[in-house]
Amino acid sequence: MSFIDYIFQLTTYSELSEKLQQPLVSLLLLLFLTISYLMGNSLWHKLFGRNKFLPQGKHAYVTGGSKGLGKAVAKLLASKGAHVTIVARDKEHLQIALDEIKDAAKNREDYKNLIFTAISADVTSYEDSVRALNDACEIHNGRAPDFIFACAGACKPGLFVEQDILEFEDGMQLNYYGTLYTVHEGVKRMARQGIKGKIVLVSSILGVMSFIGFSQYSPTKYALKGLAETLRNELLLYDISVHCYFPGTIDSPGLQQENKTKPKVTSEIEGAEDAILPDQAAKALYKSLCRGDFHITSDLGGNICRVASKGPVSPTNNFIVDSLLGGFAWVGGIPFRYYIDKKVKDSKAQYPISD
């Protein structure tokens, strides 16, 4: 009996459990799962893939590069031989970060040729964003950066009815417009100069799903997903590749800050004890860029959310693995929703409405 006939018979007679016990079926299933696993794993990429991210000798422009994720990304890229420019407001932290970045690259042979720059600017201001990018280009003889990592961002959790409208506006101004201003200016320059670089937007798992306490933040990260969706397609005009990172909780100074206003129930659902270190997040991001992934995550929860929210157009990272995971997410999301809804209903007494 041919394989096709066999499968046909399986589906026709629905004797699945009985058939599964037969060696051939088990073997095929095992083979299928092994191949799927390898393809979804970096091993497959190591063996057969082409590295799509070679930072050596290239210029990376990192907003939010003085702390947390941005600093970790800047250090990693410096250790790989990239020229790095970091942008943030506070000069003291910029200097500390700059020293760490230099330190990360100091054992390289090409260390002396590498240019590391710190620029103090507020990315929520369009003028300041343009000025910072302009300064960075001037240092590189007018040449635009090859890569833009838009890491600057923040979260102010709280209950929707208790938060001030200004907090929502600030969130959008920093997380969305703070990214847009830099990316807009950067892409214009890259496109005009024919630089076939990369744009990396930093969203969050909360850019594809959300729950109590994140109304100030989650929509700003959804907005970035939409920007990435558009630019991935449009910037093909200039051979600029676009990537969107959806991290889970990262143990950064930003997290310490947001935890000050985070409702208890929000913390419990977020499970902050599972936070990864900025360096781990940067490494995961780097590996995904080498593979060329569009939607990037760095943990299982993130991966499940990523495939479940892919939409009809965004590319998968691995068609087989993502499809399998997608099916699981569709089902697994149901108990998760029951869980978060129950958490909120059970916390009613804790959060009475005040005048």
Which residues here bind ligand NDP, judged by CB under 6 A?
A: 63-64, 66-70, 87-90, 93, 122-124, 151-155, 174, 178, 202, 204, 247, 249-250, 252-255, 278
Choose between 58 and 262: whose C-beta lies nearer to ligand NDP: 262
Asked if 86 and 94 count as a contact pair (C-beta separation under 8 A), the reply is yes
Q: How many residues comprise the chain? A: 355
Task: Clarify whether 221 is annotated catalytic.
Answer: yes
Spot the catalytic one: 217, 222, 245, 286: 217
Among 242, 243, 245, 224, which Cα is nearest to 234's?
A: 242
> What letter would DSSP give residue 293?
-
Q: Which of 205, 224, 240, 289 binds ligand VSD (CB under 6 A)?
A: 205
* Residues 6 or more apart in contact with residue 202 via CB below 8 angstroms: 64, 69, 149, 150, 151, 153, 179, 224, 244, 245, 247
Determine the interface stretch with ligand VSD among 6-14, 17-25, 166-174, 247-255 (rule: CB under 6 A). Answer: 247-255
> Which does residue 270 touch among ligand VSD, ligand NDP, none (CB within 5 to 8 A, set by kind)?
ligand VSD
Among 94, 144, 151, which Cα is nearest to 117's?
A: 94
β 116-120/83-88 pair status: parallel
Q: Which of 227, 282, 305, 321 binds ligand VSD (CB under 6 A)?
A: 305
Q: Which of 190, 202, 304, 321 binds ligand VSD (CB under 6 A)?
A: 304
Q: Is residue 185 a contact point for ligand VSD (CB under 6 A)?
A: no
Q: What's the closest the beta carbon of residue 298 comes to ligand NDP, in angstroms?
A: 10
Determine the interface stretch with ligand VSD among 78-86, 89-97, 249-257, 281-289 (rule: CB under 6 A). Answer: 249-257
Q: Is residue 151 a contact point for ligand VSD (CB under 6 A)?
A: no
Beta-sheet strands, E only, within the chain: 59-63, 83-88, 116-120, 147-150, 198-202, 241-245, 295-296
Q: Which of 63, 79, 179, 204 binds ligand VSD (CB under 6 A)?
A: 204
> Which does residue 253 touch among ligand NDP, ligand VSD, none (CB within 5 to 8 A, set by kind)?
ligand NDP
Q: How far apart are CA 216 and CA 211, in angstroms?
A: 11
Which residues are tagged catalytic? Answer: 217, 221
